[in-house]
Chains A and B, each alone.
Chain A
Amino acid sequence: MAGIGISAYGVYIPRYRLSRKTISTAMGWLSPAALPGEKAVANHDEDSLTMAAAAGIDCLKEADRVGVDGLYFASTTFPYREKESAAIIATALDLSPNIRTADFANSLKAGTGAIVSAYDSVKAKGVRGILICGSDCRLGKPASSQEMVFGDGAAAILLGRSGVMASLEGWYSTSYDFSDYRRSEDDKFVRTAEDRFIREEGYAKFIPEAISGLLRQYKLEAKDFAKVAYPCLNLREHAAIGKRLGFQPDQLKEPLFTVIGEAGAASPLMLLVAMLEEAKPGDNILLVSYGNGAESLFFKVSEEIEKVRDRGRLKKYLAFKKELTSYEKYLAFRGIIPVEMSFGGEVAPTQLPLTWRERRAILALYGSKCKRCGTTQYPPQRICVNSDCGAVDEMEDYCFSDKRGTLFSFTSDHVASSINPPLLYGMIDFDGGARFVFELTDCERDLLKTGMPVEMSLRRKYLDEPRGIHGYFWKAIPLRE
Chain B
Amino acid sequence: MPEGIKDKVALIGMGCTKFGELWDKSAEDLIVEAFQEALEDAGIEKKDIQAAWQGNQFTEINIGHSALPLATTLKLPFIPVTRVENLCASGTEALRAACYAVASGACDIALALGVEKVKDLGFGGLPRANEDIVSLGTRGRVIFPNWVNPNPGMFAMMAIRYFERYGLSIEEGKVALAKISVKSHHNGALNPKAHLRREVTLEDVLNAPMIAWPLGLFDSCGVSDGAAAAILARADTAKGFRPDPIYIKALQIAADSGESLMHKGYDYTHVETTYRAATRAYQEAGIKNPREQISMMEVHDCFSITELVTYEDLMISPRGKAKEDIDAGFFELGGKIPCQPDGGLKCFGHPIGASGLRMMYEMYKQLQGKAGPRQVKNPGLGLTHNLGGQPPQSVCSVAIVGL
Contact = CB atoms under 8 A, between A and B. Distances in A.
Interface of A: 342-348, 350-351, 354-355, 358, 361-362, 375, 377-379, 381, 385-387, 408-418, 422-423, 425-427, 429, 433-439, 445, 450, 461-462, 471, 473
Contact of A385 (B143, B149, B164, B258): B258
B299 to A, nearest CB: 22
A361 B143 contact: yes
B130 A348 contact: yes
B142 to A, nearest CB: 6
A381 to B, nearest CB: 7
B74 interface: no
Given A348-B131, A471-B142, A411 B213 contact: yes
Nearest to A440: B145
B209 A414 contact: yes
A409 B139 CA distance: 23
Given A358-B139, A409-B268, A434 B262 contact: yes
A355 B157 contact: no
A437 B154 contact: yes
B157 A418 contact: no
A343 B148 CA distance: 9
B255 to A, nearest CB: 13
Contacts of A416: 145-148, 153
B213 A425 contact: no
Nearest to A417: B148
B194 to A, nearest CB: 23
A347 B131 CA distance: 9
Given A379-B136, A385-B263, A414-B210, A346 B128 contact: yes
B136 A413 contact: no
Contacts of A437: 144-145, 154, 261, 392
A379 B136 CA distance: 9
B96 to A, nearest CB: 25
A445 B152 contact: no
B73 interface: no
A344 B148 contact: yes
Contact of A413 (B158, B161, B212, B392): B212
B139 A343 contact: no
A343 B261 CA distance: 28
B259 interface: yes
Given A361-B143, A412-B210, A414-B210, A427 B263 contact: no
A344 B125 contact: yes
A450 B160 contact: yes
Top-10 shortest CB links A-B:
A343-B123, A409-B157, A344-B148, A411-B156, A425-B145, A413-B153, A439-B145, A411-B153, A412-B213, A416-B147
A75 B147 CA distance: 31
Contacts of B156: 411, 413
Contacts of B209: 414
A50 B139 CA distance: 21
B264 A343 contact: no
A339 to B, nearest CB: 16
Contact of A425 (B147, B149, B258): B147
28 contacts: A343-B122, A344-B125, A344-B128, A345-B148, A346-B128, A348-B130, A348-B131, A351-B141, A355-B142, A361-B143, A362-B142, A377-B262, A385-B262, A385-B263, A408-B161, A408-B264, A410-B160, A414-B213, A415-B149, A415-B211, A417-B146, A418-B146, A422-B212, A435-B261, A436-B261, A437-B392, A450-B161, A473-B142
B146 A439 contact: yes
Contacts of B144: 437
A410 B268 CA distance: 11
Given A414-B209, A450-B164, A375 B142 contact: no
Contact of B212 (A350, A358, A415): A415
Given A358-B142, A378-B262, A387-B257, A409 B128 contact: no
B148 A427 contact: no
A413 B147 contact: yes
Contacts of A436: 261-262
B138 interface: yes
A350 B268 CA distance: 31
Contacts of A410: 157, 160
Contacts of B122: 343
A477 to B, nearest CB: 14
A374 to B, nearest CB: 13
B266 interface: yes
A15 B321 CA distance: 44
B124 interface: yes
Contacts of A361: 139, 143
A422 B148 CA distance: 12
Contacts of A387: 257, 259
Contacts of A355: 142
Given A385-B258, A462-B146, A343 B124 contact: yes
B369 interface: no
B379 interface: no
A417 B145 CA distance: 11
A348 B131 CA distance: 7
B157 A411 contact: yes
Contacts of A462: 146
B320 interface: no
Contacts of B136: 379
B264 A435 contact: yes
Given A385-B263, A426-B157, A354 B142 contact: yes
Interface string B246-257: 000000000001
Nearest to B140: A379
B146 to A, nearest CB: 6
B147 to A, nearest CB: 5
Interface centre among B128, B148, B261 (most CB of A within 10 A): B148
B128 A348 contact: yes
A161 to B, nearest CB: 39
Contacts of A348: 128, 130-131, 141
Contacts of A408: 161, 264, 268
A386 B261 CA distance: 11
A361 B258 CA distance: 17
Contacts of B262: 377-378, 381, 385, 434-436
A201 to B, nearest CB: 47
Nearest to A424: B145
Interface string B266-279: 10100000000000
B167 to A, nearest CB: 13
Given A344-B127, A346-B128, A439-B146, 15 more contacts: A348-B131, A387-B259, A409-B268, A411-B154, A415-B211, A415-B212, A416-B148, A422-B210, A435-B263, A436-B261, A437-B145, A437-B261, A437-B392, A450-B160, A450-B161
B268 A434 contact: no
A350 B156 CA distance: 28
A392 B365 CA distance: 49
A107 B149 CA distance: 43
Given A412-B210, A425-B147, A437-B144, A351 B266 contact: no
Nearest to B267: A408
A423 B147 contact: yes
B153 A379 contact: no
Interface in B302-353: none
Nearest to B258: A385
Given A343-B124, A346-B128, A426-B157, A414 B211 contact: yes
A312 B195 CA distance: 61
Interface string B113-140: 0000000001111011011000010110
Contacts of A342: 123, 148
